[in-house]
């Protein structure tokens, strides 16, 4: 059995399913040679003229470019750059309408030619046989070459996929579309250059066999190719195939020549076949041997609205309107149409300013009679004619239903993307259904959905990768912390002694801080008192006493009260001193300062004598058995103490009077001690009657004496009788008597306060019973002095009383010793 290569060499051909035979109309444009290109007023060059992504722009507005200069750059094989077709100035970089079925706009570089057609440096590789295939492929990519007969697949990417796996190289020269003759005239006029391009491809992919597939309706092209092939030493086969549309399709021509079918969603390289278009082969020769990038191509200008229907070289970016103008274009009035491509696979553009691109092989401008306009779509009659002519073995009717219903899953189940959009189904449809339009719309929607899914999938993968990375970092941190803890534990086990010393030092510091906090919160005296109180309570609890001993706590409380009163008295004294200084500056009050001091001293002595009398009265009310043993001694000591106290009080009064006389006005007369002592009781009585405030002060003084006496009694811890007390300390005598009867200090203090209040009341009563004759002589002066007595005098009186009480307590202690 002969191999596939031998069968092809012997002229064996196969056939594909379906196909049609529409009118060709090729003789309208293939009778003359290819016309030279024209230089338009402006060139509009889209940045994307192929399948793939755009390149990075290398020029900006205002730049001057040369012919063949790259306008974009890229380093990936799926993207090819675009080049300047001629020299000129970049006047704009903006969106313009491009040659696409959607009629949308895309980014374009607008160049205004300067008419000089100045070329930049050319990079040619005449000794290409010494170059490795990879370098040649990269050179082809940099020259911007893409498929020129179909969708514009990047040539370098296709060659890369065919390296070391291509058995049959097929050059597609079928050109089955009606009206189109660009490849036919190119083969007739440039057959030698096409064969040179085939030689370059053979050097790159190294196939076992190279075949030119051409339809039998191009006899002139076949003859020109055979002559060119015979002049070279290459094994190139020219295979003539029957004319049938769409035999120029990639998969259909491969099946005709090799008998193999390309699997769905696969490339021809998967079955060992590589296919290139005639125009692409010519561009490869110009790029490698001449160093010219793809900047122009042959375009068929046909249609009965033109005066001259012929093929012409066109610079890429030339507006179609300028090409048509050179061929006498006269638009149809009722139905003007400009079709890019043939009548089967072409599409209508919105206006004539659409530029020529790398895939523009024909511009068709027919009349209404030449190509009738599309009629109104009717319902499908299920004739199955579309399925009979489909070269891809599809079910066009089912696909149209699902596409119309937007059931894209079903569309993919019925292999929608295997459709080559040849238009054979729509050509034979009796219901005038534009099936190809439904398929194109469905394909666009599916591509958009797939792009969204891919974006979502990439986002999901990135999220999962981030989540995994964070989890991994977390585990690494935990492991790191665990190892660090183990190291610390081992170090602690090794340094047990040092840890014990450290812990002991920490405990000492804590204890020191606690002691400092306790000492700062509680004063030493208070802390000692609290400790003594707690000790006594503990002793009482051990002794079985029901009532705890609160004497220490009472002493502490009284001490705090006393300190508070002293602070208050000091503040009052300062305030009173400031007031007295301000009063001393006035002439009206200077003469009364001495009298105020004398009055205060007299009041203090009178209250002391009244308190002593009241104490004597209380002592007389005690049981006779308690007073009989000490009556005589108490009376003697009381008299002595009274005389001593009176002498001290008189001395203090005289000193204050002399000081007041020195500070007072020169007219003021100093008061003598005799006057002061003789009127002390009267003045005190007048003060009590005139101002209730003075009575309250006197009562407070008495209470202070009583509390002081109680404290002295508790400190001595020995019962004191009335005989041991001076006559001025009546409250002390009562407190001592109560201690002798085992009463608590709290009870003694309460009794002392009650007696002090009673003494104050008795003093007030005695002052009311004083004869009027005693007070009549100084009534006016006393009233005036009482009104002027302020808080300073009360504070002075209280201080004098406290001094007397302390002195009496000291005397009592000396008597005991």
Residue 411 among known ligand-binding residues: no
Please state the domain extents for the chain. Answer: 1-31+123-291, 374-521, 536-620+630-816
- Residues 273/254, Cβ–Cβ less than 8 Å: yes
Q: What is the pLDDT of residue 353?
A: 92
Q: What is the pLDDT of residue 95?
A: 93
Q: What is the pLDDT of residue 759?
A: 61
| Residue 14, CA atoms < 13 Å, CB-side half-sphere | 16
Q: What does the alpha-carbon distance between residue 105 and residue 33 come to, in Å, rounded to a whole number? A: 34
β-bridge partners, 169: 210, 274
Please state which CATH number belongs to domain 1-31+123-291: 3.40.50.11540
Q: What is the pLDDT of residue 242?
A: 93
Q: What does the alpha-carbon distance between residue 551 and residue 533 come to, in Å, rounded to a whole number? A: 8
Residue 79 among known ligand-binding residues: no
Q: What is the pLDDT of residue 23?
A: 92
Q: What is the pLDDT of residue 294?
A: 94
Structure tokens at 769: 């019973």
Whether the bond between 617 and the residue before it is cis, its omega within 30 degrees of 0, is no
Q: CA-CA distances (angstroms) from residue 169 to 107, 247, 256, 275, 623? A: 36, 17, 14, 6, 150
Q: What does the alpha-carbon distance between residue 310 and residue 32 come to, in Å, rounded to a whole number? A: 7
Q: What is the pLDDT of residue 150?
A: 76
Q: What does the alpha-carbon distance between residue 710 and residue 718 come to, in Å, rounded to a whole number? A: 12
CB atoms closer than 10 angstroms to residue 402: 21
Q: What does the alpha-carbon distance between residue 399 and residue 415 come to, in Å, rounded to a whole number? A: 9
- Residues 775/682, Cβ–Cβ less than 8 Å: yes
- Residues 795/572, Cβ–Cβ less than 8 Å: yes
pLDDT along the chain (817 residues), means of 10: 81 91 91 92 92 88 94 84 95 92 89 93 92 93 89 89 91 93 94 95 94 94 94 89 92 93 87 94 95 95 94 95 93 88 91 93 92 86 93 92 92 91 92 92 91 91 94 94 90 68 78 72 62 72 60 75 85 75 52 55 68 52 36 41 52 62 45 37 40 54 64 46 37 39 50 63 49 37 42 66 78 73
Query: In terms of Cα–Cα distance, which of 330, 361, 327 is closest to 344?
Result: 361
Query: In terms of Cα–Cα distance, which of 84, 83, 79, 85 is closest to 54?
Result: 79
Answering whether pTM is above 0.85, one says no
Rg over alpha carbons for the chain, rounded to the nearest Å, is 65
**636-642 contacts, C-beta under 8 A, 24 or more apart:** 637/723, 637/724, 637/725, 637/726, 637/727, 637/815, 638/612, 638/726, 638/727, 639/727, 641/726, 641/727, 641/728, 641/808, 641/811, 642/609, 642/612, 642/726, 642/727, 642/728
Residue 380 among known ligand-binding residues: yes
Q: What is the pLDDT of residue 699?
A: 55
Q: What does the alpha-carbon distance between residue 231 and residue 234 come to, in Å, rounded to a whole number? A: 9
Residue 108 among known ligand-binding residues: no
Residue 386 among known ligand-binding residues: yes
Residue 422 among known ligand-binding residues: yes
Q: CA-CA distances (angstroms) from residue 540 to 62, 483, 716? A: 112, 62, 20
Q: Which helix H or strand E contains 589, and what residues bound it?
A: none
- Residues 151/145, Cβ–Cβ less than 8 Å: no
């Amino acid at each position: 059995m002969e191999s596939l290569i031998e069968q092809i060499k012997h002229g064996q051909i196969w056939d594909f399913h379906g196909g049609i035979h529409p009118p060709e109309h090729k003789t309208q444009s293939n009778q003359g040679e290819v016309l030279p290109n024209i230089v338009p007023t402006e060139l509009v060059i889209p940045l994307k003229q192929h399948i793939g992504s755009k390149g990075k722009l290398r020029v900006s507005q205002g730049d001057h470019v040369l012919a063949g200069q790259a306008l974009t750059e890229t380093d990936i094989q799926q993207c090819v750059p675009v080049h300047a077709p001629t020299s000129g100035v970049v006047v704009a970089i903006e969106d313009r309408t491009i040659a696409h079925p959607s009629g949308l706009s895309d980014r374009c570089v607008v160049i205004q030619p300067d008419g000089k057609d100045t070329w930049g440096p050319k990079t040619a590789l005449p000794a290409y046989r010494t170059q490795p295939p990879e370098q040649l492929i990269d050179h082809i990519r940099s020259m911007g070459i893409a498929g020129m007969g179909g969708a514009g697949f990047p040539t370098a990417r296709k060659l890369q996929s065919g390296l070391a796996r291509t058995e049959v190289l097929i050059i597609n020269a079928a050109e089955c579309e009606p009206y189109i003759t660009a490849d036919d005239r190119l083969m007739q006029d440039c057959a030698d250059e096409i064969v040179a391009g085939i030689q370059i491809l053979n050097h790159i992919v190294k196939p076992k066999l190279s075949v030119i597939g051409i339809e039998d309706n191009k006899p002139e092209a076949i003859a020109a190719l055979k002559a060119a092939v015979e002049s070279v030493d290459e094994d190139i086969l020219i295979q003539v195939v029957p004319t049938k549309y769409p035999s120029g399709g990639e998969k259909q021509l491969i099946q005709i020549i090799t008998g193999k079918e390309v699997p769905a969603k696969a490339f021809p390289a998967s079955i060992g076949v590589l296919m290139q278009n005639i125009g692409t082969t010519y561009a490869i020769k110009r790029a490698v041997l001449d160093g010219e990038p793809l900047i122009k191509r042959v375009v068929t200008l046909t249609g009965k609205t033109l005066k001259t229907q012929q093929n012409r070289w066109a610079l890429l970016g030339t507006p179609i309107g300028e090409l048509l103008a050179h061929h006498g274009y006269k638009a149809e009035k009722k139905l003007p149409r400009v079709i890019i491509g043939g009548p089967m696979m072409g599409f209508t553009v919105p206006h004539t300013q659409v530029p020529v691109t790398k895939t523009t092989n024909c511009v068709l401008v027919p009349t209404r009679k030449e190509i009738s306009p599309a009629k109104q779509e009717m319902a499908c009659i299920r004739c199955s004619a579309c399925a009979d002519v489909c070269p891809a073995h599809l079910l066009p009717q089912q696909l149209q239903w699902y596409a119309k219903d937007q059931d894209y899953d079903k569309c993919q189940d019925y292999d929608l993307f295997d459709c080559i959009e040849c238009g054979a189904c729509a050509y034979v449809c009796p219901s005038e259904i534009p099936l190809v339009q439904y398929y194109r719309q469905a394909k666009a929607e599916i591509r958009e959905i797939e792009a969204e899914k891919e974006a979502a999938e990439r986002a999901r993968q990135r999220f999962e990768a981030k989540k995994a990375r964070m989890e991994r970092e977390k585990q690494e941190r935990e492991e790191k912390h665990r190892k660090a803890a183990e190291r610390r534990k081992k170090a602690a086990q090794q340094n047990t002694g040092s840890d014990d010393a450290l812990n002991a030092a920490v405990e000492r510091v804590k204890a020191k801080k606690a002691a400092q906090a306790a000492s700062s919160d509680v004063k030493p005296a208070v802390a000692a008192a609290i400790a003594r109180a707690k000790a006594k309570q503990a002793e009482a609890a051990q002794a079985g006493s029901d009532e705890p001993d609160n004497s220490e706590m009472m002493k502490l409380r009284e001490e705090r009260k006393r300190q508070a009163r002293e602070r208050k008295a000091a503040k009052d004294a300062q305030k009173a001193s400031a007031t007295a200084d301000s009063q001393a500056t006035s002439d009206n009050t200077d003469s009364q300062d001495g009298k105020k001091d004398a009055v205060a001293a007299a009041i203090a002595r009178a209250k002391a004598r009244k308190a002593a009398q009241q104490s004597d009265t209380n002592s007389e009310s005690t049981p006779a058995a308690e007073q009989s043993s000490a009556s005589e001694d108490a009376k003697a000591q009381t008299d002595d103490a009274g005389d001593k106290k009176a002498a001290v009080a008189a001395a203090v009064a005289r000193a204050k009077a002399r000081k007041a006389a020195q500070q007072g006005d020169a007219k003021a007369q100093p008061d003598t001690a005799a006057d002061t002592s003789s009127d002390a009781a009267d003045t005190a009585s007048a003060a009590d009657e005139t101002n209730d405030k003075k009575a309250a002060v006197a009562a407070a003084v008495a209470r202070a004496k009583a509390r002081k006496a109680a404290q002295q009694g508790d400190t001595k811890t020995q019962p004191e009788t009335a005989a041991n007390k001076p006559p001025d300390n009546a409250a002390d005598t009562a407190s001592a008597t109560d201690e002798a009867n085992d009463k608590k200090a709290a009870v003694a203090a309460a009794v002392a306060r009650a007696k002090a209040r009673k003494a104050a009341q008795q003093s007030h009563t005695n002052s009311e019973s004083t004869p009027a004759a005693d007070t009549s002589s100084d009534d006016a002066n006393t009233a005036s002095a009482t009104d002027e007595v302020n808080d300073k005098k009360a504070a002075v009186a209280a201080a004098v009383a406290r001094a007397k009480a302390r002195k009496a307590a000291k005397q009592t202690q000396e008597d005991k010793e």
